[in-house]
Structure 1
């Protein structure tokens, strides 16, 4: 009897090559949208940097300003800011493309849960960035500028400042995703709410350790990251206690194509 090689598939529905082709298509869409948003933001790159640097500039001593220590910094720093900002603004589209790629492999009840979680993750990420800008930055920069030794003029390099604030934006944006991660763990049955409550003391310590790693070496920013992480963990426990683990039921699978 002639041996034949079975067609290599992923998920039993679509050939692997088709999956890779679709993945490439969605990645190209993400890059195109990212570049289109960047093209629109680039003209306003200097204004965008002015807005981002406002929390520091209001605390600079009179007669001082931010400086550019590299020759190309006046151009490259706003350029980099516009590029990163475009990616942040494109995040809903990026997550939608990821969702559209994995949705055909989900069942109906999983999709009903995934959509609210996807929307919540977008809102929480932006909320974390807003919290960093409006709450953390004024406190941190006010503290830094007030502790400068006598005779030292505070004149921050624009590129160093951008790296600093983008690190904090990312740290707080990801930290605010804790409720979503907690709910997902409960839904997946990886952990139950009783266990989450049991490990609470270790989580609190972990929040402060993460704050030490992700933020600059000052107590204010570390505490301002650790405390919201702990509170958001409690929010995740609250919502997790209202849910039951999801079990996959083949008879409820939705085979209809997803957008």
Structure 2
């Protein structure tokens, strides 16, 4: 009978025989992202808006940016690991379009670490993923946001709900549209599973996605969740697009 210890030893031995390279610099690495790239691209201390996660100017008097103060989105808080910029953006593109699902545990681990580093941590009651439309899900074969959500929920010890959020219609890719059209594109594009609507009352819901661009998709989802009684909505995204990029 093969014990768990033997299985782990076998896996470690096999891993040692298989060459591995950093997903960013392509140099030999035993990790998905090598220590040098991790230090260079993921350990920069940056003060971000608590609500939308855009970088704040130095010595900002408010923990929220001007846009969130004057026109606050429906979600209450956003946490992101990094900016959506080179070379970190290649990790997202590799997962989403090159089907590099081996990156999923690393994405989930990075989000977990960022969440647990927050002061005054308040974990949500459950995690959901931004849902894909049926056509895009069939084309891609998986929802990268859900793939990240499942291991992240296990890391945090909270529930993950795959079916609560649903697409009510297919939409164009937000990244293909000008800013002015993005709100219209996702308007009324989501719905809540009817059998679970009552369970939302008073809940703190976490929504996971790979990238936040303008925040319109997450705003639309949060608006709907609060319409059904959710008390708080937190967005967890791997990367946040800067305003001059979208």
Structure with more of its chain in helix, by fraction = 1
Q: Same fold (TM over 0.5)?
A: no
- The structure with more radius of gyration: 1
TM-score, normalised relative to structure 2: 0.25
TM-score, normalised relative to structure 1: 0.24
Structure with more of its chain in strand, by fraction = 2
